[in-house]
Amino acid sequence: MNIWERLKRLLDPSASMGDDTFILGDGGGSGTGRPPSAEMLADARMRTEALLTRLDRLVEAAPKGKDALEKVGDLSTSLDENLQKVKELFRAPTNKDLIDRTILIATDPPVRAVLLFIEGISDKTVINDNIMQPLMLLAHELRLEPGQGDDAVDRIERRLLAGHQVSRQYDRASIAESLLSGDTVVLVEGAAVALAVETKEPPVRSVGDPKTEQVIWGPHDAFNEAWRVNVALVRRRLKDPRLVTEILTVGEVSKTYVGMLYIDTIAPPALVAEVKRRVEAVKVDIVNGAGTLQQYIMDNPHSLLPSTLLTERPDRTAAYLSEGHVALFVDTSPTAIICPTTFWALLQTAEDYYLHWPFGSALRYIRLGALVIALLLPSFYIAVVNYHPEMVPTALMLFIAQSREPVPMPSVVELLAMDVVFELIREAGTRIPGVIGPTVGLVASLVLGQAAVEARIVSPVLILVVATTGLASFALPNYLMGWGIRLLRFLLLLLTTLFGFLGLAAGLYAVVVHASAQRSFGVPYLAPLVGTTGPVKDAISTPPLYRQEERPPYLPLLNRRRQKEIVRQWDPQSPQTNSPEGG
């Protein structure tokens, strides 16, 4: 091969593609006309066979009554056949995760059995001590009548399996489901039923600190990836038997568990039903956490304002549950989805309630100010600088003018450039590995703070505007909301650049109209300020806790009052501490 050939091959590999080049598919064609591969056929045959067996048995069992119908499955009485079918289903022995262990149960007479479990997600100690040990070593006293498979299963379940949750499985699909969630399945010779013993132990990290919703006062535990742990964190705060955990499964491939929590008699039944309907209606391959699920169930996916609230705080979730909301826990996701949510909830934090109410209210006003700044300040600046310099006092106008004098770019370009730099720093700061993190801060302060101004590429006033806006957008407690506001800010900026204050006013008007027309799970988005009647409490400011006597007015609750009007009652029987002689 000469140099020319090599260069050609380097520049255009497809031109000189030989037989030794591996090509995968035809690059996104529909694939029609190709014969279904052997694997597809085998899978279909397996499913059809199971289905047909089940159908046959259903027909047989139909006259025998309800109990018999429930026990219909596609398992056979032959242990070898069952084992072989399950292994086929799991693509074993190619797939090394399915572990099968054939044992002889030490009953009299001994019974052959197989233990099945998935490597890595089941608890080996429980399997060894509570399943294998009783079956293989402690079963001597158990006398079985030969050939009675079902009877043997009964006795094994009742007397030998020392697991705390044992269930019976009649078909291979449910066996697979149990195995995949970490259970151990025991197949017994001669019985068309399997026993699933609960041995779940998925890899889990321990309960840690909140990452995005820190508080100074208040609990520091946060949800993690195990949804059962998350539910436990919430249940610890709400010791009420009415707190219901429903388990839904989403995703054809992922089969992700979604825990739906609500308090019966407080949460509106219509809301519970609607949340359940939306979650169950999701038919996708994989739901990879709360962030994904909320996109499938939110009201208006095109809106820039988030209509679901994600929180990683169990105390916040408990508070919302006690107010009649529904919480969704997606397995493998360290956040809960609160349905419904209002705009104001996105501006609140748990700390607002832990502090004395004046401070909580002050915090909320600060955040409201941050919202206004984050949304409007750059547009306001451009409107003043490009269209309405008469709006600001003369001294300020002259100051802005002199700071702009050496800058060679129009102020919009200047602003956009600095905004882009700011976004770059933010994105780099998020993605950068922790070790070199401080570099970003250094570069950012140099680029933003000094170099740009000294090079007279941007004016110092503009740096102030961009930095204040950035600061304000980080003061917004909700991450999703921060993004929404940031994008809306750019839209408003575009309008302002074209039309000045007229555009800004029109854009703001459109945003407000859009927000007030939105709904989240049937609740007006700006409630309780818009769409409800009655006094507004706990939306923009937070009143003293003893005066928050009612649950939120925007939910059709069965019982609105949550505490008595007089919270701290005077009891004449209680011992009086101050005696007349007292000092």
Partner 1 sequence: MLRRVLGQPFGRRRGRLRSLRLLPLVGLVLLMPLLAGCWNRVEIEQGAYVLAVGIDEGKVSPYAITVMIAKPGALAGKEGGGGDEPPVLITTVEAPSLAGAQVILHGYVGREVLFDHAQALFVHESLAREQGLPFFDELLRFRQIRETAFVVVTREPAAEVLKKLKPELDKNPIQYVEQLTYHHRNTASLPATSQVSAVAALLNVGYAQPLTYYAAAIDQESDAIRGSVSASGKARLVAGELPRRGGTPVDMIGAAAFRGSRMVGVLDGEEIRALLMLENQFYSAHAAFRDPREPEQFVTVHLSKGRPTRITVERLGDRPAIRAEVILEAEVVAIPSGIDYAWPTAQAELEQAIASQLQETMNKVIARTQEWGADVVGFGRHAIRHFPTVQAWEAYDWPGRYPKAEINTSVRVSLRRYGLTLTPTRASEEGMQR
Q: Which residues bind partner 1 (CB under 8 A)?
A: 384-387, 389-390, 394-395, 397-402, 404-405, 407, 410-411, 497-500, 502-503
Closest CB 456 distance from partner 1, rounded Å? 12
131 secondary structure, DSSP code: I
Return the number of the residue (83 or 491) whose C-beta is nearest partner 1: 491
> Does residue 179 contact residue 117 with C-beta atoms inside 8 Å?
yes
Closest CB 446 distance from partner 1, rounded Å? 20
* Residue 77: count of CB within 10 angstroms of its CB: 14
Return the number of the residue (335 or 497) whose C-beta is nearest partner 1: 497
Return the number of the residue (110 or 410) whose C-beta is nearest partner 1: 410
* Residue 273: count of CB within 10 angstroms of its CB: 11
* Residue 174: count of CB within 10 angstroms of its CB: 16
E strand residue ranges, 427-524: 519-520, 523-524
Q: Is the peptide bond before 134 cis (omega within 30 degrees of 0)?
A: no
Closest CB 493 distance from partner 1, rounded Å? 13
Closest CB 500 distance from partner 1, rounded Å? 7
Return the number of the residue (296 or 490) whose C-beta is nearest partner 1: 490
E strand residue ranges, 251-318: 256-263, 309-311
Closest CB 30 distance from partner 1, rounded Å? 22
DSSP output for 250-314 = E-TTT-EEEEEEEETTTS-HHHHHHHHHHHHT---S---SHHHHHHHH-S-TT-SS--SEEE--H
E strand residue ranges, 92-209: 98-105, 111-118, 166-169, 184-188, 194-197
Return the number of the residue (248 or 392) whose C-beta is nearest partner 1: 392
Any idea how long the chain is? 583
Return the number of the residue (410 or 522) whose C-beta is nearest partner 1: 410
- CA–CA dist 274, 555 (Å, integer): 13
Return the number of the residue (156 or 400) whose C-beta is nearest partner 1: 400
- Reading the block at residue 494, the tokens are 């575009």
- CA–CA dist 147, 376 (Å, integer): 81
Paired residues of 188 in beta bridges: 113
Closest CB 395 distance from partner 1, rounded Å? 7
Closest CB 389 distance from partner 1, rounded Å? 5
Q: How far is CA 27 from its chain centroid? A: 33
Closest CB 514 distance from partner 1, rounded Å? 17
- CA–CA dist 59, 65 (Å, integer): 11
E strand residue ranges, 367-522: 519-520
- Reading the block at residue 188, the tokens are 């017994």
Return the number of the residue (2 or 394) whose C-beta is nearest partner 1: 394
- CA–CA dist 274, 255 (Å, integer): 21
The residue behind tokens 């049937």 is 522
Return the number of the residue (107 or 496) whose C-beta is nearest partner 1: 496
Closest CB 294 distance from partner 1, rounded Å? 32
Return the number of the residue (370 or 382) whose C-beta is nearest partner 1: 382
- CA–CA dist 234, 229 (Å, integer): 9
> Does residue 324 contact residue 557 with C-beta atoms inside 8 Å?
yes
Q: Classify 286 as helix, strand or coil.
A: coil
Return the number of the residue (292 or 496) whose C-beta is nearest partner 1: 496
Closest CB 259 distance from partner 1, rounded Å? 44
**Burial state string for 547-569 with b = 16 or more CB within 10 A and e = fewer than 16:** ebbbbbbbbebeeeeeeeeeeee
> How far, CA to CA in Å, does 207 sit from each of 121, 124, 164, 328?
19, 23, 24, 18
> Does residue 258 contact residue 327 with C-beta atoms inside 8 Å?
no
The residue behind tokens 């508070």 is 319
Return the number of the residue (3 or 395) whose C-beta is nearest partner 1: 395
* Residue 579: count of CB within 10 angstroms of its CB: 7
| HEC assignment per residue over 160-189 | HCCCCCEEEECCHHHHHHHHHCCCEEEEEC
Return the number of the residue (410 or 543) whose C-beta is nearest partner 1: 410
The residue behind tokens 């104001």 is 344
Q: Classify 247 as helix, strand or coil.
A: strand
User: Cα torsion at 525, 529, 531, 537 (round to 10°)?
Assistant: 100
Closest CB 504 distance from partner 1, rounded Å? 12
**Neighbouring residues of 53: CB distance < 8 A, sequence distance ≥ 6:** 74
Closest CB 406 distance from partner 1, rounded Å? 9
Closest CB 404 distance from partner 1, rounded Å? 4
The residue behind tokens 């020319």 is 4
Return the number of the residue (102 or 402) whose C-beta is nearest partner 1: 402
Closest CB 53 distance from partner 1, rounded Å? 48
Return the number of the residue (10 or 455) whose C-beta is nearest partner 1: 455
Closest CB 424 distance from partner 1, rounded Å? 26
